[in-house]
Amino acid sequence: MSAKIVIGLDGSGSGERAVAYAKKQAKQIGKCELIAVYVIEWSPYSFQTPEENEERHKRREEEISAATSRIVAPVVDALKKDGFSARGIVKHGHVADLLNAVAVDEGADQIVVARSSEGGFASRVFGTSTANLVMTASVPVTVVG
């Protein structure tokens, strides 16, 4: 049986630190799959016009495609080049909820995220979302500085 580590990406240097830590863990574990996850934040507080709702699905698919090619694919490619078993996932929704859901769905052993003041994922997660992730996650969460 192989272990699985979910890595929360944010597209910045803090995500790179999470990847570096996950690689270190994977080397220590041995047979381990790394799953790079990027969540496009969705807010229930944004109100949309009927016209915007018509375009919502198209925009969502475009955002997922862009995040996959610009953020997740380069990380997965680099991990594979370094000899790791890796794949990527892009989701649209609430960061803490979706990182935990991916971990549960994938049977992951751990979630790794990075702490940072660079904005992006860190600014969204390291507030109430981080507290929610750490307190409600079904697997251990490692927060990398």
33-83 residue pLDDT tens: 999 999 998 765 566 677 776 777 778 888 999 999 999 999 999 999 999
Residues in the chain: 145
In a domain, 121, yes or no: yes
In a domain, 145, yes or no: no
What six digits make up the tokens of 77? 């490619």
pLDDT computed for residue 44 by the predictor: 58
Question: Is pLDDT above 50 for 117?
Answer: no
64 lies in which domain range?
A: 3-140
Question: Alpha carbon of 93 to those of 43, 44, 62, 63: distances in Å?
Answer: 8, 9, 15, 12
Total tally of structural domains belonging to the chain: 1
Residue 114 vs residue 103, higher pLDDT: 103
Question: Is pLDDT above 60 for 127?
Answer: no
CB proximity list for 99: less than 8 A, separation 6 or greater:
6, 8, 37, 39, 111, 113, 133, 137
The amino acid occupying position 10 is D
CATH number (domain holding residue 47): 3.40.50.620
Question: Alpha carbon of 112 to those of 55, 65, 69, 76, 80: distances in Å?
Answer: 34, 23, 21, 15, 18
What does pTM read for this prediction? 0.85
